[in-house]
Amino acid sequence: MCLGCGVRAPKSSLVRFTAVPRDGRLALVHDDDGSLGGRGLYTCASRGCFERAAQRRAFPRAARTAVVVDESLADGIGDGGMVSGA
């Protein structure tokens, strides 16, 4: 389910994020292939959905812990696919 708009879609059509430890906190990162494990947090491949989810604090709510959301993650979403890499 997309954390931005709430649409139910196959995970394969959503963008996967997860929270990883960074500088003593948990930070949201891209995990499109699921290689990082952990709890998957999903949005549509849409910048708008990511931003809505961030504004609504949907990521920490879904992760059930405090998560730092770097809004630059939105730069890699939508309009022709994801930017690979950290």
- When asked if residue 49 is in the footprint of Zn ion (CB under 5 A), the reply is yes
Q: Is 14 helix (H, G, I), strand (E, B) or coil?
A: strand
Pick between residue 4 and residue 76 the one whose CB is nearest to Zn ion: 4
Closest CA to 56 of 16, 20, 8, 5: 5
- When asked if residue 62 is in the footprint of Zn ion (CB under 5 A), the reply is no
- Sole window of 17-25, 27-35, 39-47, 73-81 interacting with Zn ion (rule: CB under 5 A): 39-47
- Characterise 21 by phi-psi region: left (phi > 0), alpha (psi -120 to 50), beta (else): beta
What is the C-alpha to C-alpha distance for residues 54 and 71, in angstroms, rounded to an integer?
8
In total, the chain counts a number of residues equal to 86
- When asked if residue 41 is in the footprint of Zn ion (CB under 5 A), the reply is no
Q: Which of 1, 5, 20, 36 binds Zn ion (CB under 5 A)?
A: 5
The CB-of-58 to Zn ion minimum distance in angstroms stands at 10
Residues that bind Zn ion (CB under 5 A): 2, 4-5, 44, 49
